[in-house]
């Protein structure tokens, strides 16, 4: 009996020491993993956003899954020279670009791309590696085999990227930006169906929050413009493309990307990537349409699908005339010094605003 009690005390003491010796991000991952095993992860209500000040002084709005301890770790994340990073404001074409980039870097290997979910081919920089719904997280990126190229997805503002990336061009970074009206609409529907994001409220409430930068990770304007400015002096290691350009001429954009990524692709390979990366193909493809996340209960596809419409100009179905006028005024004012322009509709009536 004494032996048994002593063994339990020793094991419990060792377990507490082990947990205390972990980095906060690993400790939290352990807790999430435990909660997931017990099925507790689905009982929590939607998170509220909170303002965090990161150790480099950057202030940012975060929800539960993007807690500041992960961002602190991310600042010191060690880059590798051949890393590929897809960096985007949420809902601007990340998944689309991830699939294109992976195929460009892997000789258009569509067979493997279909057999391996995108969540397993990329690591999500600002997510702890514990949430099955989000695939490979931070720690998986750290432990990525050194003989395999790392593919990294991030929605972090430039100022919260790993210091090594902020101060020098490491690897190859691809940024996608989408016109803010469609970006906002897509983000609104994403909030409606995604249980790890705050409740979006009404469309009108959500639009005002988008305009004032009160959504997770802050202002679209600050985010996009900062990446655009950095891109001006880093064209060898950074690539910047709009969602609208991808929609307009996908094959041309794949060719440009292949040049940037220094990959020689045949016309047949480019055609195959463009076909595979069409909206209709990606929305049916289980490796890219997030159906596994819907099955995990984190996203509710009955409310809205992840691959929702994939169009330029859906904002017209959401903005009232007054909302649109107010948005245009605010947009003109906030972008008056920008050299970056967006298209808000495609086709014969293409209008640059
Ligand atoms: S996330 O959650 O931030 O990673 O989302 P993200 O992938 O950035 O954005 C999702 C929107 O991109 C659309 N999408 C596409 N559009 C055109 N073609 C393809 N192949 C494609 N793949 C994804 C997706 O439908 C979301 O936009 P909306 O407007 O909501 O449909």
pLDDT tens-digit map of 136-192: 999 999 999 999 999 999 999 999 999 999 999 889 999 999 999 999 999 999 999
Cα 263 to middle of ligand 1, angstroms: 25
Confidence check: pLDDT of 351 > 70: no
205 φ, ψ (degrees, to nearest 5): -60, -45
Mean pLDDT, residues 108-136 taken together: 91
Does a structural domain hold residue 12? no
Residue with more model confidence, 130 or 82 = 82
- 62 within 8 A of 68, measured Cβ to Cβ: yes
- Cβ neighbours of residue 41 closer than 8 Å, sequence gap 6 or more: 32, 35, 131
Q: Which of 48, 81, 88 is nearest to 64 (CA)?
A: 48
Which residues does a 6 A CB cutoff place in the pocket of ligand 1? 88, 90-96, 182, 186, 189, 277-279, 282, 307-310, 314
Cα 89 to middle of ligand 1, angstroms: 12
Cα 31 to middle of ligand 1, angstroms: 31
How would residue 350 be classed by pLDDT, with cut points 50, 70 and 90? very low
**CATH number of the domain residue 95 falls in:** 3.40.50.300
- Cβ neighbours of residue 22 closer than 8 Å, sequence gap 6 or more: 30
Residue 8's Cβ-side half-sphere holds a number of Cα atoms within 13 Å equal to 4
Map tokens 């909030």 to a residue. 191
Residue with more model confidence, 128 or 182 = 182
Q: Which of 130, 102, 125 is nearest to 37 (CA)?
A: 130
Confidence check: pLDDT of 54 > 70: yes
Residue with more model confidence, 19 or 234 = 234
**Is 155 a known active-site residue?**
yes
**Token pair for 305:** 């699908």
Residue nearest to atom 19 of ligand 1 (CA): 279
**Token pair for 218:** 């802050």
70-99 pLDDT per residue, tens? 899 999 999 999 999 999 999 999 999 999
Confidence check: pLDDT of 197 > 60: yes
Does a structural domain hold residue 4? no
Q: Residue 44 has what pLDDT?
A: 63
Give the domain extent around 233: 44-351
Does a structural domain hold residue 2? no
Residue with more model confidence, 125 or 65 = 125
- Cβ neighbours of residue 230 closer than 8 Å, sequence gap 6 or more: 158, 238
Closest ligand 1 atom, residue 307 Cα: 25
Catalytic residue, chosen from 41, 129, 155, 189, is 155
Return the SS3 of 149: coil
Q: Which of 85, 185, 253, 279 to mutate to test the pocket of ligand 1 (most atoms within 8 A of CB)?
A: 279
Cα 93 to middle of ligand 1, angstroms: 5
Residue nearest to atom 20 of ligand 1 (CA): 279
Does a structural domain hold residue 230? yes
Does a structural domain hold residue 38? no
Cα 349 to middle of ligand 1, angstroms: 23
Residue nearest to atom 10 of ligand 1 (CA): 91
**Token pair for 39:** 């099925």
- 117 within 8 A of 90, measured Cβ to Cβ: no
Q: Which of 91, 134, 278 to mutate to test the pocket of ligand 1 (most atoms within 8 A of CB)?
A: 91
Does a structural domain hold residue 15? no
Task: Give the C-alpha distances (Å, rounded to integers) separating 166 from 84, 173, 298.
Answer: 15, 11, 32
312-340 pLDDT per residue, tens? 999 999 999 999 999 999 999 999 999 99
Question: Structural domain tally of the chain?
Answer: 1
Does a structural domain hold residue 147? yes
Mean pLDDT, residues 257-278 taken together: 98
Residue nearest to atom 2 of ligand 1 (CA): 91
- Cβ neighbours of residue 325 closer than 8 Å, sequence gap 6 or more: none
Q: pTM for the full model? A: 0.93
Percentage of the chain beyond pLDDT 70 is: 95
Does a structural domain hold residue 221? yes
Closest ligand 1 atom, residue 186 Cα: 30
Residue nearest to atom 18 of ligand 1 (CA): 279
Residue with more model confidence, 10 or 238 = 238
Task: Give the C-alpha distances (Å, rounded to integers) separating 34 from 44, 123, 227.
Answer: 14, 21, 37
Alpha-carbon Rg for the chain, nearest whole angstrom, is 21
- Alpha carbon of residue 189 to chain centroid: 16
- Give the ranges where the chain is alpha helix by DSSP (H): 2-21, 24-37, 68-75, 94-105, 110-115, 118-121, 138-142, 163-167, 180-193, 203-212, 220-232, 243-248, 250-260, 267-276, 279-284, 291-295, 321-334
**Token pair for 195:** 């249980």
- 327 within 8 A of 211, measured Cβ to Cβ: yes
Confidence check: pLDDT of 5 > 90: no
CB atoms within 10 A of CB 71: 22
Q: Residue 348 has what pLDDT?
A: 56
DSSP 171: S
Q: Mind giving me the DSSP string for 240-290?
A: EEEHHHHHH-HHHHHHHHHHHTT----HHHHHHHHHHTSHHHHHH-TTTS-
Cα 181 to middle of ligand 1, angstroms: 14
- 57 within 8 A of 126, measured Cβ to Cβ: no
């Amino acid at each position: 009996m004494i032996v048994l009690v002593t063994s339990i005390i020793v094991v419990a003491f060792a377990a507490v020491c082990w947990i205390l010796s972990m980095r906060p991000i690993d400790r939290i991952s352990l807790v999430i993993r435990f909660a997931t095993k017990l099925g507790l992860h689905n009982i929590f209500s939607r998170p509220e956003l909170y303002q965090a000040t990161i150790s480099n002084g950057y202030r940012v709005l975060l929800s539960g899954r993007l807690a500041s301890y992960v961002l602190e770790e991310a600042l010191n994340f060690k880059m590798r020279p051949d890393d590929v990073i897809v960096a985007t404001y949420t809902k601007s074409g990340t998944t689309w670009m991830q699939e294109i980039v992976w195929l460009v870097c892997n000789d258009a290997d569509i067979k493997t791309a279909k057999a391996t979910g995108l969540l397993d081919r990329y690591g999500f920089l600002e997510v702890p590696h514990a949430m099955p719904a989000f695939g490979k997280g931070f720690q998986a990126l750290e432990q990525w085999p050194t003989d395999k190229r790392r593919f990294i997805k991030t929605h972090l503002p430039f100022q919260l990227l790993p210091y090594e990336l902020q101060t020098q061009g490491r690897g190859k970074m691809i940024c996608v930006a989408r016109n803010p009206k469609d970006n906002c609409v897509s983000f609104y529907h994403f909030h409606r169906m995604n249980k790890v994001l705050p409740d979006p409220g009404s469309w009108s409430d959500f639009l005002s929050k988008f305009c004032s930068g009160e959504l997770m990770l802050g202002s679209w304007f600050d985010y996009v413009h900062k990446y655009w400015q950095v891109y001006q002096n880093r064209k060898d290691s950074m690539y910047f493309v709009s969602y609208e350009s991808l929609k307009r001429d996908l094959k041309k954009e794949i060719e440009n990307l292949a040049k940037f990524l220094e990959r020689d692709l045949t016309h047949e390979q480019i055609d195959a990537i463009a076909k595979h990366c069409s909206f209709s193909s990606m929305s049916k493809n289980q490796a890219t349409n997030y159906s596994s996340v819907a099955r995990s209960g984190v996203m509710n596809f009955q409310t809205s699908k992840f691959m929702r419409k994939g169009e330029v100009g859906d904002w017209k179905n959401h903005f009232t005339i007054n909302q649109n006028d107010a948005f245009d005024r605010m947009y003109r004012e906030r972008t008056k010094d920008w050299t970056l322009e967006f298209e808000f509709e495609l086709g014969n009536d293409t209008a640059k605003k």
